[in-house]
Amino acid sequence: MKIDVINLSPEVIEPALLKRYVRAVNRQIADHFAPEWELAAKLEILDIDVKRRNTRRIDVLPGDAVVYVGSTARRTDYAGFHDKSPRGTPYGVVYQDIADKLEEPLSVTLSHEVLELIADPQANLFAAGPHPDPKTRRTVLFWYEACDAVQDERYEIDGVAVSNFVTPLYFTLGEQRSRKNDYLGKRRGYNLRSFGVNRGGYVGYTNPGNFHGEVFEPDDRAKERRNIKGKVRLSRRSVQYRTVRKRVLELT
């Protein structure tokens, strides 16, 4: 997958700094993410005149997907999440002010959204697993998010912070003790359990009975992070799942 990166605010987000971030995320994809997920991708910054809106149209961009990087989110914008355009092209949007409120470098937010874009480009994958609240004994459909469960954890590549991520084994029933469920598991000293959540993380899931989407937030830091994103607008992923729900109900 070739992912175009468009700097919407070059007067605020220094192009040289963004290039450094992109270089680190590309290394993360090649050296860490691809070996675990067996999915390859590469980011490439597009040098275009962002003041001309037609140059930003997804349908005329050369890549397979696009990530927009801006300075300030508006309430009608999509911040810190990925989805797909009406034409079916996957895209993500990352904002500096949202990263600041999350108390993380923009490079971490960029890494988070890019990895999830690669793992689930059409935002329509589910994995059946036990309800994240151990007090609730039922099976739900987890959203196929690569970073949400460990989103408050990071590490560095060439001095640039990037997001931790789960591995495909995370989305399996039963524990594979010889392997890790998230990239930093062995370095941290304990392994995240399958379908589990680390501090500051949260997971989204859909109830198979009625296809209503919900989010499990186990601690105050997780609630704080989601609240920051929610002040802009919830991910259109929730709209996508409502569409899935409607179509499923029409077929049953």
- Measured CA distances, 35 to 27, 30, 32, 125, 147 (Å): 12, 7, 6, 21, 16
- What is the CB-side half-sphere exposure of residue 32 using CA atoms within 13 A? 21
Q: How far apart are CA 35 and CA 190, in angstroms?
A: 21
Q: What is the pLDDT of residue 181?
A: 92
Q: How far apart are CA 11 and CA 71, in angstroms?
A: 9
Q: What is the pLDDT of residue 235?
A: 47
Beta strands in the chain (DSSP E): 2-7, 42-45, 65-70, 81-84, 90-95, 126-130, 139-143, 154-157, 160-163, 203-206, 213-216
Q: How far apart are CA 58 and CA 219, in angstroms?
A: 37
133: closest CA among 89, 79, 195, 177? 195
Residue holding tokens 């999440």?
A: 81
Q: How far apart are CA 70 and CA 110, in angstroms?
A: 11
What pTM was estimated for this model as a whole?
Answer: 0.88
Q: How far apart are CA 24 and CA 109, in angstroms?
A: 13
Number of DSSP helices (H) and strands (E) in the chain, helices first: 7, 11
The CA R_g of the chain, rounded to the nearest whole Å, is 18
Q: How far apart are CA 107 and CA 78, in angstroms?
A: 17
105 token code pair = 């470098």
152 token code pair = 């408050």
180: Cβ contacts below 8 Å, ≥ 6 apart: 167, 169, 186, 191, 192
Q: What is the pLDDT of residue 48?
A: 79
Phi and psi at residue 239, to the nearest 5°: -65, -40
Tens of each residue's pLDDT in the chain, 252 residues: 999 999 989 999 999 999 999 999 999 999 999 999 999 999 999 987 766 656 556 667 788 999 989 998 765 554 444 556 666 788 888 999 989 998 999 999 999 999 999 999 988 899 999 998 888 888 999 999 999 999 999 999 999 999 999 999 999 987 776 678 999 987 877 788 899 999 999 998 988 877 778 889 888 888 888 777 765 444 445 555 555 555 555 655
Phi and psi at residue 63, to the nearest 5°: -80, 175
